[in-house]
Amino acid sequence: MNFAILVNSPPFAKQGSYSAYEFCKAALSKGHPVKKIFFYQDGIYNANSLICMPQDEIDVSQLWQDLAQKHSIELIICVAAAQRRGVIDATEAKNYDKTSTNLAKHFRVAGLGELIEASTTYDRFITFN
Amino acid sequence: MNKKILFVFRQPPIGSAKAQEALDILLMASTRQHSISVVFIGDGVWQLKTQQAKNFTAAYKALPLYDVTQIYVDQLALQERCLTQSDLTLTVTLLDNKAIAKLMQQHDVIFNF
């Protein structure tokens, strides 16, 4: 069974993102492909490359990047929600005349249309708030 | 492929941006070839309250223009908040808990905000 996931929760201050990560790991270990993971609302902060977690705490943003690399999963953030929260890639930085970028590795920026598309394409679509 | 998508709105329009960003997804979905329904439950019913100062809530009135006409409201949630149909910006269908559960079963995809 194929999964698409929506994460609306930030990496540190709330539980949702880590729960989503554990869910994805469990699904993958049972042989269920997780195709696309979308980050929206405060879930955008998972893609912030400037997060500096203390060594003895879980770095959920890093966990997502490792998972994406290991299983070739697409990590996607919504462009409008990301702009509002200051998570931008090189293209956005140029468009908005910003001096730096902070989109973490393995994440890419897309529109909401791709989220709607994914939600109706795969066997299951699950939201973590 | 044409799918039945249900949006479940649970959050009030003030206090966080959740309602505003959820509405953005609904409006985007309405531009695709899918059948869209929306149900307002719990504090989500405040999103439809008339006379609000939030700019984005004007968009709810326009839902029928986006071909979103299947609009449902949690009847009990309205009662608990001393609201009636006449307090809402849209004409809606009131549902009890059982009917809301059935509504969820009838859809292919659920967006839960």
Residue-wise pLDDT tens digits, B46-101:
999 998 777 788 889 889 999 999 999 999 999 999 999 999 999 999 999 999 99
Domain holding B12: CATH number? 3.40.1260.10
> CA distances (Å), A16 to each of A11, A69, B23, in order?
8, 21, 21
CB-count exposure of residue B93 (10 Å: 0-12, 13-18, 19+): middle
Domain count, chain B: 1
Query: Which parts of chain A fold into alpha helices (H)?
Result: 16-29, 60-71, 79-85, 90-95, 112-119
Q: Do A41 and B21 touch (CB under 8 A)?
A: yes
Tell me: pLDDT of A121 over 80. yes
0.90 surpassed by pTM: yes
> CA distances (Å), A39 to each of A18, B58, B66, B91, in order?
13, 26, 25, 33
- List all residues 6 or more positions away from B67 whose beta carbon is below 8 Å from its beta carbon: B30, B36
pLDDT value of position A87: 98
Q: How confident is the model at residue A70 (pLDDT cuts 50, 70, 90)?
A: very high
pLDDT (average), residues A105-127: 96
Has A78 been annotated as catalytic?
A: yes
pLDDT (average), residues A89-105: 96
pLDDT (average), residues A2-7: 97
CA–CA distance, A2 with A74 (Å, rounded to integer): 13
What is the CATH T-level fold of the domain A3-128, as seen in this structure? Answer: Hypothetical Protein Ychn; Chain: A, (3.40.1260)
Residue entry with tokens 């598309």:
A117
pLDDT (average), residues A111-119: 95
What residue segments make up the domains of chain A, in order of their start?
3-128
pLDDT (average), residues A70-76: 97
How many CB pairs lie under 8 A apart between chains A and B? 42
Of chain B, the percentage scoring pLDDT greater than 70 comes to 99
pLDDT (average), residues A23-44: 97
Residue-wise pLDDT tens digits, B15-49:
999 999 999 999 999 999 899 999 999 999 999 99
- List all residues 6 or more positions away from A13 whose beta carbon is below 8 Å from its beta carbon: none
Residues in A lying within 8 Å of B, measured between beta carbons? 6, 8, 40-41, 80-81, 111-113, 115-117, 119-120, 125, 127, 129
CB-count exposure of residue B11 (10 Å: 0-12, 13-18, 19+): buried
Expressed as residue numbers, the domain containing B32 is: 4-112
Q: Do A113 and B108 touch (CB under 8 A)?
A: no
Token readout for B61 is 């009135």
Among partner residues B1, B24, B110, which is closest to A80 by beta-carbon distance?
A: B24
Among partner residues B28, B34, B109, which is closest to A112 by beta-carbon distance?
A: B28
CA A42, chain centre distance (Å): 10
Token readout for A40 is 């929206």
CA–CA distance, A8 with A19 (Å, rounded to integer): 11
Tell me: pLDDT of A30 over 90. yes
pLDDT value of position A69: 97
More confidently predicted of B1 and B6? B6
* Global ipTM: 0.90
pLDDT value of position B56: 82
CA–CA distance, B107 with A8 (Å, rounded to integer): 21
Q: How confident is the model at residue B1 (pLDDT cuts 50, 70, 90)?
A: low
